[in-house]
């Protein structure tokens, strides 16, 4: 049934909702690659890190192309079931997921992973895993869009979809906690890491943490878009 609904939606070429789902998945794939890149970074595998950064860059570029197509389709679309301004605001937040996966990967390539205590490496692996988990759960919300469209946003389907949003926000809060704990570990090891290293790692923590922030923001904007219709 799901495949049938998707095939029907694909026929509606002017609808932005099908490419919205594809766009979301590009962001999640970029974060998945970022988790692999973090493994390479912590292992000191510069070559693998650069390869994965190139893959993330490609995914982010593909997401940008889809974003532009969605924006171009909206003025000529048939009447949408949601406010166009809300849709564009939502798209902007969702697009930031891939953006921050890209900038996080770039940031890792700027300075090699040297003299990092194991507890700091473990903290980064845990933080990246938390950001990925948040993005993946957000993607579950997007996967429900086809149900909403197929049922003309029935109250039952809307309610079911929106129950996931607080879970995304909960995961985002957990990532915030991981950020604080990791920053503390970095400062505790300042003598080993060095001043420039500390500055670099602080920047990396913030960029990775923002992925979870953008996932939660996107879920919130989606909720607002649906409830305001």
How do the domains of the chain map onto residue ranges?
2-227
Round to whole Å and give the CA distance between 146 and 197: 46
Average pLDDT over residues 200-205: 98
* Superfamily covering domain 2-227: Phosphate transport system protein phou homolog 2; domain 2 (1.20.58.220)
Q: Which residue has the tokens 């992973």?
A: 113
Q: Tell me the C-alpha to C-alpha distance, in Å, between residue 133 and each of 27, 88, 150, 153.
A: 13, 25, 27, 27
For the chain, the maximum distance between any two Cα atoms, rounded to a whole number of angstroms, is 61
What H or E segment, with its residue span, contains residue 14?
Answer: none
Confidence of residue 102 (pLDDT cuts 50, 70, 90): very high
The residue among 83 and 55 whose pLDDT is bigger is 55
Task: Work out the average pLDDT over 73-82.
Answer: 69
**Is the predicted pLDDT of residue 152 greater than 80, yes or no?**
no
Is the pLDDT at 12 greater than 60, yes or no?
no
Q: How far apart are CA 215 and CA 151, in angstroms?
A: 25
pLDDT tens figures, 41-66: 999 999 999 999 999 999 999 999 99
E runs forming strands in the chain:
none
Alpha carbon distances (Å) from 144 to 2, 102, 219: 10, 26, 12
Q: Please count the residues of the chain.
A: 229
Token digits of residue 80: 């949408």
Closest CA to 41 of 209, 199, 183, 208: 208
CA–centroid distance for 42 within its chain: 21
pLDDT tens, position by position, 177-190: 999 999 999 999 99
Nearest to 162 by CA among 146, 144, 149: 144
Q: How confident is the model at residue 2 (pLDDT cuts 50, 70, 90)?
A: very low
Per DSSP, the three-state class of 143 is helix
């Amino acid at each position: 049934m799901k495949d049938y609904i998707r095939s029907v939606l694909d026929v509606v070429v002017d609808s932005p909702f099908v490419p919205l789902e594809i766009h979301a998945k590009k962001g999640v794939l970029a974060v998945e690659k970022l988790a692999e890149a973090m493994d390479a970074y912590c292992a000191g595998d510069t070559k693998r890190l650069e390869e994965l950064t190139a893959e993330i860059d490609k995914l982010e570029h593909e997401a940008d192309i889809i974003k532009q197509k969605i924006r171009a389709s909206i003025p000529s679309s048939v009447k949408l079931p949601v406010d166009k301004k809300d849709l564009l605001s939502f798209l902007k937040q969702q697009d930031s997921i891939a953006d921050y996966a890209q900038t996080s990967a770039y940031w890792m390539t700027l300075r090699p992973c040297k003299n990092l205590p194991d507890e700091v490496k473990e903290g980064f692996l845990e933080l990246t895993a938390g950001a990925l988990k948040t993005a993946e759960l957000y993607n579950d919300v997007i996967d429900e869009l086809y149900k909403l469209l197929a049922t003309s946003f029935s109250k039952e389907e809307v309610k079911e979809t929106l129950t996931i949003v607080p879970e995304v926000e909960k995961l985002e809060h957990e990532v915030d906690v991981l950020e604080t704990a990791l920053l503390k570990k970095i400062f505790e090891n300042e003598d080993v890491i060095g001043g420039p290293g500390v500055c670099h790692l602080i920047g990396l923590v913030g960029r990775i943490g923002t992925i979870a922030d953008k996932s939660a923001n996107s879920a919130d904007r989606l909720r607002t878009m649906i409830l305001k219709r």
